[in-house]
Amino acid sequence: PKKEVLIMFSNWKEKLAAKKEKNKCYEESRHWKTNALLQECLQAMRGSCTIAPPEMHEAVIAAVNIAMKENIWTKPDEIPADLFSDTVYVVWDDARLPVVMAHWNAAQEKFEDLRTVNPNTFLVAQTMDRILWFHVQDGLKLYSIT
């Protein structure tokens, strides 16, 4: 009987830990819905952006992480007009925020709204070969593998 009680207690502890983890994941996934700065940005960009699908979210984050690891950024004087031509992905320096997709023209018009969410904001080309980084301390940085 003592062994059975220990097994039951162990099973209960595992279920409790799994429930806590599930609740934590759920709360983190809802963080972006309660982030006031993100909500203001999404409202300002209403109709011109969408949340990226999960598989693209992971790919875009991977591209930013690769660029950060390689650390071969240039510092352009201004944003080249032909830097991006179509869709860009917006990534903020907060793992709890979603990746947002927007057309380059809409993102250009709303730079300030995008940067208000987090001072370290990345715009990633749809082809993921160019990344524009609004760095909080160093200003504008550009990563390009072309």
Instruction: Give the model confidence (pLDDT) of 47-57 as tens digits.
Output: 888 888 888 88
- Separation CA 124–CA 132 (nearest Å): 6
56-100 per-position pLDDT tens digit: 888 999 999 999 999 999 888 878 777 888 899 999 988 888 899
89: which strand partners?
Answer: 101, 124
- Tell me the average pLDDT across 98-123: 89
Within 10 A of 84 (CB to CB), how many other CB atoms are there?
21
Strands 100-103 and 49-51, bridge-based pairing: antiparallel
